Chains A and B, each alone.
Chain A
Amino acid sequence: MSRIPSPLFNCQQATLLVERRAAAPLPVRPRVQLWAHLHLCPHCRRYALQSARLAHAARPAAEAAVPANLALPAAARARMQQLFDAHGSAQG
């Protein structure tokens, strides 16, 4: 991360750094500048909270999207059964 534009007065840069910060600690200078920006900017503070909430919700949302008793559609299952039948007869 050589050239990081200053997030001090720039919300676009600040929110981008909010994303990078979630993955790895930032170098000192951008870290301090981001801290100062978030201190002064309520919009980016909100963004930071909501961005973290999205990140945490993504996996549970994917799991919850599918009913726990949902089965393979019959046509797909039949196609796959043929696959196994062919494999079985090739072995036997």
Chain B
Amino acid sequence: MSPPVLPTPASDPQQWLARFGDELYRFALGRVADTDTAAELVQDTFVSALGALDSFRGQASERTWLFVILKRKIIDHYRREARSPFVPLDLSPEHAPEAEFFRPADGHWREEQYPADWPAAGPDQNRADLALEQQEFQEILQLCQQRLSAQQRAVFVLRFVEELPAEDICKELGLSSANYWVLVHRAKLHLRRCLEKNWLQAPTAA
């Protein structure tokens, strides 16, 4: 028989689902982009939180505490994803993904891959246009993220959405610092091109 668990008065697990369930789910869904996985991460969060109730002493609010656990679950999710199909990073220059973008002989951009000029928010644009353009850009960025390789996506999301320091990401994903930079670079190269294809070519409401 275990001693009675006496959480602080603020901690009431029976209220968690009603009070924080939707919010945790939305947070997860913005980061994993698939509803089943997002719900699973929330469920894992509750399981861990219930198991660790003793360690919750009300230093932080329950809400903050649950989000800390969820963020941990999201990192674990990306670690599993990035590790499952092992992709060798050390390829010969001709076979490396970079060769799609740069000529292996001299490292210059291939002509057909030259970055195009992106529309900047000019002074002649009104606020509604800007907001629409911003929204379009964000939606396409999300779609493009889904097309990255698992490793590139893991690195990109953990760095630029979760804003983890590079050293932490290397530790979590078991990457050398050199390989980390190669993955960041590849993710950016692919995202940049994907956005250019799908955003600039999109019919604009003229």
Q: Which residues of A contact B (CB under 8 A)?
A: 9-13, 15-16, 19-20, 23, 43-44, 46-47, 49-51, 53-55, 57-66, 68, 70-73, 76-77, 79-81, 83-84, 87-88, 91
List the 3 closest A-B pairs by CB distance, nearest first.
Answer: A10-B107, A58-B160, A76-B39
CA distance in complex: A7, B189 (Å): 17
CA distance in complex: A62, B160 (Å): 10
- Identify A73's interface contact among B39, B188, B191, CB under 8 A: B39
30 intermolecular pairs with C-beta atoms under 8 Å apart: A9-B106, A12-B102, A12-B107, A16-B181, A43-B114, A43-B115, A46-B115, A54-B160, A54-B191, A54-B192, A57-B137, A58-B141, A58-B157, A60-B138, A61-B141, A62-B30, A62-B31, A62-B157, A62-B161, A64-B135, A66-B30, A70-B25, A71-B25, A72-B22, A76-B39, A80-B17, A84-B16, A84-B50, A88-B13, A91-B4
1/0 contact string of B89-109 vs chain A (CB within 8 Å): 000000000100110001111
B205 at the interface (CB under 8 A from A): no
Residue on B nearest A46 in the bound complex, by CB: B115
Which one, B40-48, B61-69, B80-88, is touching chain A? B40-48
B175 at the interface (CB under 8 A from A): no
Chain A positions within 8 Å of B115 at CB level: 43, 46-47, 50
Chain B positions within 8 Å of A43 at CB level: 109, 114-115
Q: How many interface contacts (CB-CB < 8 Å) are there between A and B?
A: 129
Not counting A66-B30, A76-B42, a sample of 10 additional A-B residue pairs whose C-beta atoms are within 8 angstroms of each other reads A13-B107, A20-B181, A57-B141, A63-B30, A65-B33, A70-B26, A73-B39, A79-B43, A80-B43, A81-B17
B14 at the interface (CB under 8 A from A): yes
Residue on B nearest A52 in the bound complex, by CB: B188
B124 at the interface (CB under 8 A from A): no
- Identify A65's interface contact among B43, B138, B182, CB under 8 A: B138
Residue on A nearest B182 in the bound complex, by CB: A16
Main secondary structure of the interface of A (DSSP, over half): helix
Q: Which residues of B contact A (CB under 8 A)?
A: 4-5, 13-14, 16-17, 21-22, 25-26, 29-31, 33, 35, 39, 42-43, 46-47, 50, 98, 101-102, 106-109, 114-118, 135, 137-139, 141-142, 156-157, 160-161, 163, 166, 181-182, 184-185, 188-189, 191-192, 195
Known: A43-B114, A83-B43. A91 touches B101 (CB 8 A): no
Residue on A nearest B141 in the bound complex, by CB: A61
- Determine which residue in B47, B166, B189 has the highest number of CB atoms from chain A within 10 A of its CB, and name it: B189
